[in-house]
C-alpha cells in the first residue's frame, strides 16, 4: 500500500462540479464511488482532493487475489510469537484520511463484507480475529473506484454495496479539457496537444476495430511526453498509443492509419 500526505497540489483539470461534490461528501462523512474507464483521471482526482483537504492518502490497488485478510490484517509468526499485523484498510481507519481502493471489483467477494459497516452510517471496522471494533475517526473517508467497461457478470458490484456510496461517473474529457491536460502534464506546445487530442478522438470514434478499451488520456500524455523529448511523432504514437492498445497486427495497422494521417 502507498500512504502519503502530499502538501503540493497534484495537477488536476476538473470537468464539472466533482471537486465541490467530493468536498460535500467528505464534510458529511459519506463514502464515494468513482466509476469510469481507465486513464481518465480518477486516481489523480483522489490525490488532488487528498492534498486539497490536507489528508493522508492510503491507496490500495485491488487485484483478484486480494482477500479481506489482506485488507484488514493477519497474525504473523515471528521470533516464536504470534503478532497481529494491520492491513492497509485497518491502518487507514486507525490513522484517518482517505482510503482509496482502486479497481475494487477486482478484489475477492469477501472483501465487500468488511467494507459494508465502514461504508454506512456505522463507520466501523470489525476485526474478527482480534475481537476489535474500530470506529472510523471523523477524518476517515472511504473512496472506491472501478471500471464498468471491464466488468463482467461475476465482477459487478452488488447493489447492497453500491447503494452505500455517493457515486460519480468519469468519462473521456472534452477536446478542450484533454488539450489542457496534455499541456499541463507535459508542457508540450498547444499545436502538438491539439493533434494528439484529434488522434485520440478519431481513434475513439473508429467503429470497425476490435479493442477491449479505447485510448485513454494517460496514453496521449505518454505520446506527448515522448514527442516533446524529441522522439519521432509517428514512432511515439506507435509506442505510446497503438501498441499499448492492441496485439493484433491488422488492428494496429488500422490505428496507425489515423496517426499517419495526422503527422
Ligand atoms: P485512472 O485512475 O482513471 O485510471 P489516472 O488518474 O491514473 O487514471 O490518470 C492517468 C493519467 O492521465 C494521469 O497520470 C495524468 O497524467 C492524466 N490525466 C487524466 N485526466 C487528468 C485530469 N483531469 N487532470 C490531470 N491529469 C489527468
Residues contacting ligand 1 via CB (< 6 Å):
11-13, 36, 38-44, 181, 185, 217-218, 221
Q: Please identify, by atom number, the ligand 1 atom nearest to the C-alpha of residue 46.
A: 6
Give CA separation, 109 vs 61, 158, 187, in Å.
15, 10, 42
Range 30-47 burial, b when 16+ CB lie within 10 A, else e: bbbbbbbbbbbbbbbbbb
Residue 83: CB atoms within 10 Å: 9
- At 80 the pLDDT is 83
Q: Residue 145's pLDDT is what?
A: 93
The pLDDT profile of the chain, 263 residues, written as one tens digit per residue, is: 666 666 689 999 999 999 999 999 999 999 999 999 999 999 999 999 999 999 999 999 998 888 999 999 999 987 888 999 999 999 999 999 999 999 888 888 888 889 999 999 999 999 988 999 999 999 999 999 998 876 555 567 888 888 999 999 999 999 999 999 999 999 999 999 999 999 999 999 998 888 888 999 999 999 999 999 999 999 999 999 999 999 999 999 999 999 999 99
Q: Name the H helices within 76-228.
A: 88-95, 110-119, 159-162, 175-186, 190-205, 217-228
Question: Which pLDDT score, from 0 to 100, does residue 111 have?
Answer: 86
**pLDDT given at position 112:** 83
State the pTM of this model: 0.92
- d(CA 12, ligand 1 centre) in Å: 8
Amino acid at each position: 500500500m502507498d500512504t502519503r500526505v502530499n502538501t503540493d497540489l497534484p495537477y488536476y483539470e476538473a470537468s464539472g462540479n466533482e471537486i465541490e461534490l467530493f468536498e460535500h461528501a467528505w464534510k458529511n462523512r459519506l463514502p464515494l464511488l468513482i466509476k469510469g474507464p481507465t486513464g481518465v483521471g480518477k486516481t489523480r482526482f483522489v490525490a488532488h482532493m487528498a492534498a486539497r483537504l490536507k489528508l493522508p492518502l492510503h491507496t490500495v490497488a485491488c487485484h483478484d487475489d486480494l482477500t479481506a485478510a489482506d485488507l484488514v490484517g493477519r497474525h504473523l509468526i515471528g521470533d516464536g510469537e504470534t503478532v497481529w499485523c494491520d492491513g492497509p484498510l485497518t491502518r487507514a481507519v486507525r490513522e484517518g484520511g482517505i482510503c482509496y481502493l482502486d479497481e475494487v471489483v477486482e478484489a475477492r467477494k469477501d472483501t465487500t463484507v468488511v467494507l459494508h459497516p465502514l461504508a454506512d452510517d456505522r463507520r466501523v471496522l470489525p476485526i474478527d480475529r482480534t475481537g476489535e471494533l474500530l470506529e472510523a475517526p471523523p477524518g476517515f473517508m472511504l473512496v472506491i473506484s472501478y471500471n464498468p467497461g471491464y466488468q463482467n457478470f461475476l465482477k459487478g458490484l452488488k447493489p447492497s454495496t453500491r447503494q452505500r456510496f455517493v457515486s460519480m461517473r468519469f468519462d473521456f474529457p472534452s477536446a478542450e479539457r484533454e488539450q489542457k491536460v496534455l499541456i499541463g502534464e507535459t508542457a508540450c506546445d498547444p499545436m502538438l496537444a491539439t493533434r494528439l487530442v484529434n488522434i485520440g478522438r478519431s481513434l475513439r470514434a473508429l467503429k470497425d476495430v476490435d479493442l477491449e478499451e479505447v485510448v485513454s488520456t494517460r496514453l496521449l500524455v505518454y505520446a506527448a511526453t515522448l514527442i516533446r523529448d524529441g522522439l519521432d511523432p509517428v514512432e511515439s504514437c506507435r509506442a505510446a498509443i497503438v501498441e499499448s492498445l492492441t496485439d493484433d497486427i491488422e488492428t494496429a495497422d488500422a490505428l496507425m492509419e489515423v496517426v499517419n494521417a495526422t503527422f
